[in-house]
Structure 1
Amino acid sequence: MLTMREYQIVTKLLEVRNEIRIKDLSTEFGVSTRTIKYDLNNVKYWFRQHELDFHSQPNKGIWIACSEAKRMEAKHAIMQMERRKLYPNQDVRVRRLISILALTVEYVTANELAERLEVSRNTILSDLQFVEEMIEPWMVTLERKQRTGYKIYGEEIHVRLLLEHIIQTELSNYDIYQIMTRMMKKETQDIHLIIEDQLVAYYHIVEKHMTAMFDSPFMQQFNHSELLTTLLRLTISLTRLQLGFTVKTYKLLHTPPYKDNHTVFLLTLMKITYEEACFPLLEDEYLYVSGAFEKETNQMDIAHVTEQIIRYVSEQEGINYKQDSRLYSNLLAHLSLRFQKGTMHISEFNPFTEEIKRNHTSLFHHIRKACQTYITTRSVSAQDSFIAFLALHFLVSYENTFKKKQRARALYVCSTGRGVAKLLKSRVEREVPDIDIVAYCSMMEIEDICKREEVDLIVSIFPITADVPVIVVEALPTKRDINAIRQQVENVNKRESPRLQGSFVQSHKRENSEEISQEIILKGCELTQELVSLFGPDLEESRKNAFMMHVCLLVHRCYFEQQYEYTGRVEACMNERATIIRRLFFEKDLKINEAEITALVQYMN
């Protein structure tokens, strides 16, 4: 039997086509190389069972050599494995404990939990400490009652959102693919999902009715994230009702006043599903499944929240993200669409969540803290997937705008400080792109130049002693000299660069013709003037400059087809302001999408 980590190693080896170093695996999983080597004993045995050749070589790594057909067959076998039968690691045990406690009415003893997870009582007691830490951001607490057991306590909506998060965390890309494929192709073959037994019966009821309705025009308007969220929320709703828990009241649902396609589909699905499960259709259950319980977000000042999140993260990270207007507009658009009125608030599936939490812990923590402070709905801001999506915006900003490619600063030393220095500078910078020869001098000037220019290395035709690395080269560098310089530059650039304290560095420059620049500037100015004249009374004085800058940059994005795109469904803004914005951009021969329109409208009262 494989452990969870061994299962992940097998999956990784089947997904990649090149060698993987054991050291890299130990870094990824946060364990020692010796532990990984122990894990590989079971991994090798699994591959032998499936007639696959496992290769390893010192200083190279480990890899699988086989045909694509065999690789796909093995991937199918590992994905079909019932992961519940794997030896669970602590993360898996903690998530299972939360699921068990969320689906239990009475207190559960440590011995009962140990028996269900097939581990010792002491292991369970240790895991329960981590359970408390994980559920705290969801405003759910772990109750301990002496000689009675454990139970989780919190508002029903928070418990359900926590349970939904736990289930989605367990889902792999392959699981989601299987779920969607079963519904699209109306397949009946069972799949192995890691969900508790209490959920299984209701899950199949909901899936059956969603499959029957899959071809309806109403359902086609949902994206896969919304369908998955609907499936999980209906399953959780029915299961919690069966346990005797309702969101708030037992008030029956009266048909909502609006009749859009999404509402019609959801109401139809819920009626037939609840009828088969023998439950009444309650108003609060509809609000939970549709996400409409988060009404307070409709009054949120999205523009102000965006500014505050960027300000807080900038202060905590020591990077002046406030200077990146592209980050502001993308974040504003994302939050506007995430919390726009009438939108289904889905628990977005983000495949990068764990990687971001592991590799960018500080950024993830600071964004979470900012969201909990400035977003009124803490139950939404606590979701790891939501935080990870916001972190992606900051990471893109850092990579594209603030992270200047590290270039080694070099000093060239020759006999006079002139001679062939310019020729060498040209050749070296052409052959070694990550170097800047910032000065050239004679031996008499080395100390002064090094202090003034803060050089990382010295290229010299003489053997000299210095506090920085020295590469001795021929007067006209040979190929071997160039390789030596390149190697030293790589060593310098591997050092951790200091954080940018508020500097704004352009990572690249677009080479646009003068005519294109003039056209963008003119259209930007014209649109800005027209919009300000029309919406001036609706714009607070403190936001007017930001609005004008946003419009100018938006024109630039429209011209180069770089508008913000939201991954979910975007509800078209149908108010008068949105109509005017569409018309003005159309008149200027610029195509603007709904995400950008939604962001612009947020500036106005």
Structure 2
Amino acid sequence: MIKNNKDTAAKYGFKLNMRLLKCSLELLDVDLFAEYMRNNNRSQDDRVSYIITRLLKSNDFIKIEDLSNELYVSRATLDRLMPTIKEIAETYRLGFISKPKYGIFLEGNEMDKRLCLTNYRIASQLDGSLQNKEKDEVSKIQAIVLKSIRKHALFFNDINLYNLIQHIFVAIKRICSGNAMNETPNIKIDHDIQNETAAAEEICDALEREYQITINDSEKYYILIHLLGKRTFQNINVIDEAVFRCVDEIFLRIKAEKNIDFRGDAELATSLALHIQPLLLRLQFGLHQQNPILLQIKREMINGYEIALCASQVFHELYSADVDEEEIGYLAVYFTMALERMKNNAAKKKVAVICSTGRGTAKLIQYKLVQRYKYRIEDILLISLYELETMDLANIECIISSLPLYKDYGIPVFYLSAIVDETFEEVDSFFKSIHVSQHLDLIDERLLLSDVDCKTREEAIRILCDKIKEVHQVDLYDEVIKREALSSTEVGKLLAIPHPYQYNHEHTILAMMKLKKEIKWKYKKVAYVLFSAIPASDKNGVQISETIARISLDSVLLKNMMNDLTKENVEKVFGGLEE
């Protein structure tokens, strides 16, 4: 390998010397060598992406030794990547063929190859890296597409438009390299597509003129289905009746499994219907929708993602179609927004304020409560002692008074001054305890595991579930593995947040684990595991999930907690989040 790369070494400012079976590197130009290292210091994900792309662009077998030389890694390193390559190929319905002396090859139809190639191209460009020549070509394609879709009043959001342009870019490259599509899928489309068809024709005509190529009917159909699958609908009147039935089924499933009733949320129903219409087309055509913020959604929208995962099962039952993680992520956004609306509309308990020194002082106390505890001003009731005697206290959280009350009202009573802030300390403790006490009660020293030695995701889950079984006499392993099979729970930042798919027991369970060494979960490396099992009956479940999300967002906080997994430290972290 060293001999084969002497020219490369000279080009990038270094020299490889070989003497008596010893190798040394001599720097000739520091700047050139630094550029070389930036371009070639690839991570495992980068190597996988490179190999997939090379295989897709090749019409013949590629020897692993050649890939090894191109990536400057050993044969053993590449051999360890082959199971991942094979798994990715299967995701796109491609066959992974390996023959001794010949090498490896990806076999499949042109449409599946393009879908895979485009998605890896999009993923590799999330940092904005694009060669100038490619930028010019993408700009030309974008101008052609924009002109046509504007003419025919078709609307695309930014992500879908970007994905559409990338698919067309790859299609042009494949046609130019002699890999045109020759088969048109026999797929029935139930609604009017006159505008999309006209737009596809115009786009193809413009591309033929620009690139001096011939675009056959199969290629035109390929562009048409991408227009259909990526278009954003804005008019509810064009949505098929079947889509509304699908939304109804989704709401029924969520009510049955999650005990959350969205049936009265017209905004959610409309948003889902507008999203599901093109989603069904993508599922029908096998189009993959890239979601660049999936990990962020998994971290920040835990409850919304779980509801979306539940909803995805409806598509399997109604259409025999599996919705992938990235599509589920988009659905999660709608459900998260609906949960926020539900939370804001929920009747919040009120605080009664009694002040003997006048309305102005009472207003000052009211203002301090709004600022300090984020209450809405309408939830802080300014009342007299006389009014208190006749008031229904069922929806009153506590009474705050500037004068002594000699009667037991069955709810907490606090005495404070509007002037002296120190008198708020007892109130601080009360409001903090409302939100935090249930979290702290869940933290069990026996379920805080440090320096756990394991090699696989399944082994880590087994160790954790065995410990939970020992403490709570409930075996959750099968349900946790079922949930992982639907959508992997690593969320970036070396963290996984596994939980059971179904959990109908009475008690909420929290468990945490720090691994001795990082392991590959499914796609990403994981060093920390934050487990939760929350029954639908737990009224604090949403808040607990939100606390977990806040921990997962803060890398420093996460490390500080996981590096000292003691009950005292974990309680300190959970308590600090609610201050």
With normalisation by structure 2, the TM-score equals 0.47
Please state which structure has a larger fraction of its residues in strand.
2
Q: Compare relative contact order (CA 8 Å, sep 6+) and give the higher one, 1 or 2.
A: 1
With normalisation by structure 1, the TM-score equals 0.45
